[in-house]
Amino acid sequence: MSTLTNTPSGTDQPTAPAPVGPPTRLQMAVMIWLAVFPTLTVLSLVLGPWIGDMNPVLRTFVLATIAVPTIVFGEMPWLQRARVWLLTR
């Protein structure tokens, strides 16, 4: 036995929220800043005693070699999910 329902759209399915598009340039800039600043600060504080006497170019290379994968693979996916959550709540 089936029951009929009266819905304005003619379907029984709840409507899903509209998908969130790609971030704007401003949103991307804020997400990058939120990832880069704390990461470089922590790395500088932790590695400072070991890399403090290095040539500035070599020191920057070491920091970037650690920071970039950490940000790209660790922090940015989390920040992108947080952005979607904020925009859809």
- Is pTM beyond 0.95 here? no
Confidence of residue 21 (pLDDT cuts 50, 70, 90): very high
Domains of the chain, residue spans: 25-88
Q: What does the H/E/C string look like for the chain?
A: CCCCCCCCCCCCCCCCCCCCCCCCHHHHHHHHHHHHHHHHHHHHHHHHHHHCCCCHHHHHHHHHHHHHHHHHHHHHHHHHHHHHHHHHC
In tens, the pLDDT along 48-82 reads 999 999 999 999 999 999 999 999 999 999 999 99
